[in-house]
Amino acid sequence: MPKLTIVDIAKLAGVSPSTVSLVMNKRPGISEETRKRVLDVIERMNFAPSQSARSQILKSSQTIAVLFNMNSHPLEHLFQESLNKSILRYCTEREYNLVFVACSFGDDSAPVALPNILRSRGVDGVVSYGYVPVSVITGLQDLELPYLLLDSHQLPNHCMSLRVDYYGAARMAMKHLTDNGHTQIAYIGSNFPPLYSQQTFEGYRSALEEMNIVVPLSWIQMQSKDSDGEDSAEKQMQAILQSGAMPTAVFCAADIYAIGAIRALKQAGLRVPSDVSVIGIDDILISSYIDPPLTTVRIDTSRLANQGCDMLFASIDAGTPNTVHEEFSDFTLAVRSTVRSLK
């Protein structure tokens, strides 16, 4: 059947196409009577206006693009997929659509060709997660689009960012350990991305310092940039165990690391938490399913996504790119079974 157009509706309602358009867009200056008549026809005919025809005029496609890195570890996706869901909900609410754009973020040096879609689709805004190559950020900048870095792991120049306060999260984790009497605390983290690395480590360091605790240097384990989070953490934990001195607890800068650390501990014949306590950050889906269930600092992804979307749509509504930077620090302690009280 030939697809219905606005002029079909107009004919059926006995008005001009313009009137139908005005009604659909809830514009003022239409008599209550004709408005109702038009809406009736639309309802009855099940009419939906052509999005492409609209976009062409409006220069807005009611679409948000989400950059999705196809290159990362499955566990890393867990946190992002959780964000995806909340963003989808938010956008649906606002009658925006979400398109996912597959990207391959390699290393920083190789510029990433931004998929054409961002330009040809006329998306209204862009979201990306975590660490993003600078070439992407500058590329987006040229498009002059509202662009939000969510859970941003770097200091962006020309776009919006919502950064998780990993320092605060680390402090919360450390506080839980020290509150439970731990002082001999090892650290498993990474040296990349720099900002994230610095924040988590500083949380660890300052907490120890404030309590005048000193630990062996071998307890501080930093993954290098391109190591595999989970497996490397396993090796890092082994290194700690072989260092001679034995910590009572390990603070992991991410749940992924905690998973590797626990695996190493088990393999070494140690029990968690009776022999060694472990705590992480994030609370990814898997964390409550491992054995023992991981005690961790939960980052509320739903609120994180909402706050981010608020920023993004503020910029979209204003009709201009923005460069606001905000920080997110809505943490709660997910107390499960990997931290033992020494008191």
Partner DNA sequence: TAAAAATATTCAAACGTTTTAATAGAATCT
Partner DNA sequence: AGATTCTATTAAAACGTTTGAATATTTTTA
Peptide bond into 194 cis (omega under 30): no
Distance CA 314, CA 256 (A): 33
Distance CA 194, CA 239 (A): 23
Distance CA 32, CA 165 (A): 52
Stretch of residues binding a copy of itself (CB under 8 A), selected from 29-37, 118-126, 153-161, 173-181: 118-126
The one among 44, 56, 85, 179 contacting DNA by CB under 7 A: 56
Residue 270 near residue 250, CB atoms below 8 Å: no
- Rounded to a whole number of angstroms, the minimum distance from the CB of residue 232 to DNA is 47
Q: Percentage helix, strand, coil, to 5, in the chain?
A: 45, 15, 40
Angle at which helix 74-93 crosses helix 301-318, to 10 degrees, equals 50
Stretch of residues binding a copy of itself (CB under 8 A), selected from 27-35, 233-241, 244-252, 289-297: 289-297
DSSP β-ladder status, 296-299 and 331-334 = antiparallel
Given the structure tokens 């992924």, which residue do they identify?
256
289's contact among a copy of itself, DNA, none, with CB below 5 to 8 A by partner kind, is a copy of itself
Contact status: 49 vs a copy of itself (CB under 8 A): yes
244's contact among a copy of itself, DNA, none, with CB below 5 to 8 A by partner kind, is none
Contact status: 49 vs DNA (CB under 7 A): yes
The string of DSSP codes covering 4-67 is P-HHHHHHHHTS-HHHHHHHHTT-SS--HHHHHHHHHHHHHHT----HHHHHHHHT--SEEEEE
Stretch of residues binding DNA (CB under 7 A), selected from 55-63, 207-215, 246-254, 286-294: 55-63
Contact status: 57 vs DNA (CB under 7 A): yes
Using alpha carbons only, give the angle 280, 285, 286 rounded to the nearest 5 degrees.
70
19's contact among DNA, a copy of itself, none, with CB below 5 to 8 A by partner kind, is DNA
Residues 95-109: b if buried by 16+ CB within 10 A, e if exposed: ebbbeebebebeeee
Distance CA 335, CA 319 (A): 43
Contact status: 21 vs DNA (CB under 7 A): yes
Contact status: 7 vs a copy of itself (CB under 8 A): no
Give φ, ψ of 326 to 5 degrees. -125, 165
161's contact among DNA, a copy of itself, none, with CB below 5 to 8 A by partner kind, is none
The one among 17, 35, 37, 81 contacting a copy of itself by CB under 8 A: 81
Contact status: 98 vs DNA (CB under 7 A): no
- Rounded to a whole number of angstroms, the minimum distance from the CB of residue 86 to a copy of itself is 10
The one among 28, 74, 244, 319 contacting a copy of itself by CB under 8 A: 74
Q: Which is nearer to a copy of itself, 53 or 213 (CB)?
A: 53
- Rounded to a whole number of angstroms, the minimum distance from the CB of residue 263 to a copy of itself is 9
Give φ, ψ of 161 to 5 degrees. -140, 145
Number of neighbours of residue 224 by Cβ within 10 angstroms = 9
Contact status: 29 vs DNA (CB under 7 A): yes
Q: Which is nearer to DNA, 16 or 323 (CB)?
A: 16
The one among 16, 92, 157, 332 contacting a copy of itself by CB under 8 A: 92
Contact status: 31 vs DNA (CB under 7 A): yes
Stretch of residues binding a copy of itself (CB under 8 A), selected from 51-59, 187-195, 242-250, 333-341: 51-59
Written in H, E and C, the secondary structure of 165-217 is CHHHHHHHHHHHHHHCCCCCEEEEEECCCHHHHHHHHHHHHHHHHHCCCCCCH
> Which residue ranges make up the site for DNA (CB under 7 A)?
3-7, 14-22, 24-25, 29-31, 33-35, 49-50, 53-54, 56-58
> Which residue ranges make up the site for a copy of itself (CB under 8 A)?
46, 48-56, 61, 63, 68, 70, 74-75, 77-78, 81, 84-85, 88-89, 92, 97-102, 115-117, 119-122, 259, 285-286, 289-291
